[in-house]
Amino acid sequence: MKIASIVEGDGEVIALPILLRRLAEWRTPEHYQDVSTPIRVRRDRFLNRDDEFQRHLLLAASKCGNDGWILVLLDADDDCPATRSAEILHRAQACVPHRRISVVLANREYEAWFIAAAASLNGHRGFVFDPLDTIEPESRRNAKGWITSHMVDRAYGETTDQPAFTARIDLQLTFDHSRSFRKLCSEWDRHSLGG
């Protein structure tokens, strides 16, 4: 099955294919998934301009083919991930009713998934985490800033660290501590098996 995705950040363009391939190995190793390079959008224009929304969804539909799957992955920021993703999904299904579509909003940012599995990143790329720290990964605003505050002598770089951390995080830890990541996994399970 071919997966076409829509993302909002330069880091996700590189990181999401890594994550989806890891999900394939972890969740459905017996099924091959063809993960294409994500389509990058400007979130506000994508969500607020119908012509942009439709144009990008039609492009994703052409990339994934008749039997493929479109995954829209955005940051929730301050929105409720469940409510906002349902609204976006409804609009997307109206644009491309002939394709399977999922909308997942990382609560609050993609980087919150790194916080959920922070223990597995300890010592990697200058990231230092005390396992005695208690964290609420999805209630924290500015996840990128939190990660930077735990890095030795440098700031978090979205296009360099996001793919590297994506390749390294413990997926089970992320699943256990992040509701929005569990949503991604449930959509993966449903669609990667052709449902």
In tens digits, the chain (195 residues) has pLDDT values of 899 999 999 999 999 999 999 999 999 999 888 999 999 999 999 999 999 999 999 999 999 999 999 999 999 999 999 999 999 999 999 999 999 999 999 999 999 999 999 999 999 999 999 887 878 888 878 999 999 999 998 999 999 999 999 999 999 999 999 999 999 999 999 987 765
CA–CA distance, 5 with 185 (Å, rounded to integer): 15
User: How many structural domains compose the chain?
Assistant: 1
| pLDDT score, position 140 | 73
Q: Which two tokens stand for residue 111?
A: 């980087």
| pLDDT score, position 172 | 97
CA–CA distance, 50 with 25 (Å, rounded to integer): 36
Query: How many helices and strands, by DSSP H and E, does the chain display?
Result: 10, 5
| pLDDT score, position 194 | 60
| pLDDT score, position 138 | 85
Could you say which DSSP state residue 161 is in? Answer: H
| pLDDT score, position 133 | 80
Q: Kindly state the helix (H) or strand (E) to which residue 128 belongs, with its residue range.
A: none
Q: Which two tokens stand for residue 62?
A: 């052409």
- Single out the residue of 6, 15, 46, 5 nearest to residue 158, CA to CA: 15
8 A C-beta contact, residue 180 and residue 130: no
| pLDDT score, position 195 | 53
Domain boundaries, position 77:
2-192
Q: Kindly state the helix (H) or strand (E) to which residue 77 belongs, with its residue range.
A: none
